[in-house]
Amino acid sequence: MAFNLKTKLWQTGSLDWWAMIDGEDVYLGTREFPNPPENGDEWVVRSTGDMFKIIDGEICRVGKQEPQKLEWMEL
């Protein structure tokens, strides 16, 4: 995919977004990922709580919060 980003980015067959950040494969989410990604975009991956932001064409991990728990998933 060509989005003019410095970060290596790919999407799996199950529509999950991944990137190579600091030498490791990092899950970027599914619907949370901004498409098309642009400088300044921010998002939180619901399942992991990882927070990302695109800064100068590079995807950066900027924090972590408690993962979002969906009501329908609780027993």
* pLDDT top residue among 30 and 1: 30
**pLDDT at site 74:** 62
**pLDDT at site 2:** 61
Residues in the chain: 75
57 alpha-carbon distance from chain centroid: 14
Q: Is 66 exposed, middle or buried (0-12, 13-18, 19+ CB in 10 A)?
A: exposed
**pLDDT at site 69:** 77
pLDDT tens profile 18-57: 999 999 999 999 999 998 999 999 999 999 999 999 999 9
Q: How confident is the model at residue 4 (pLDDT cuts 50, 70, 90)?
A: confident
Phi, psi of 14 (to 5 degrees): -95, 15
